[in-house]
Amino acid sequence: ERAEAFLHSGARDTYLHSRLAMRHILGGYQGMDPAAVRFDSGPHGKPYLGISGTDLRFNLTHCGRLCLLAVTRGLEVGLDAEQIRERRGMEGIAARMFQARQLEELKSLPERERLPLFYLYWTRMEAMVKARGGGLFADDARKLPALPHVCFIPHPGFQACVATDGPCPSAGEWRTLMFRAESWQEG
């Protein structure tokens, strides 16, 4: 039903494929059929597995056709990805959402260098809010203490960040899967 609400077929396909991949991956971790994976939602809509006794935590994000899923055991996790592209009102968004130190650093750069830093700060902030299970506008993200996090470039032209409420595994411990609608590729 949620997929049918999308007006653009590309967004609908991305939504469906990301949910299908997420069910397969989480089902694999739980040793269960993907169709049997059930979800519940926290107070701000963050989904979690509706399976009693599991310590598996996850967070899904997508931006255009890029979808990322972070899965942990015993750690809350938040994930965000954004395509680095011109954004109207960037300065105003930064003034409202970023810490004073971040805003000063952003403004101190030549204009052509501001965009990547804006997205670095944005994805980091959003990943931390998601790890806490909060809403981006429900809490003043500027006042929340930092969480362990790793910022990375998942694909050229994109910025991403994953945050946890405990020690963040080093990138060398990560397992990545590339999902295409027609096949799975592990890398």
For the stretch 50-90, pLDDT in tens is 988 999 999 999 888 888 999 999 999 999 999 999 988 99
| pLDDT less than 50: residues of the chain | 184-187
In this structure, what DSSP letter does residue 177 have? E
Helix (H, G, I), strand (E, B) or coil at 137: coil
Alpha carbons 162 and 81: distance in angstroms, whole number: 9
In this structure, what DSSP letter does residue 175 have? -
Alpha carbons 66 and 41: distance in angstroms, whole number: 23
Alpha carbons 35 and 90: distance in angstroms, whole number: 41
Q: HSE, CB side, 13 Å, CA atoms: give it for residue 40.
A: 7
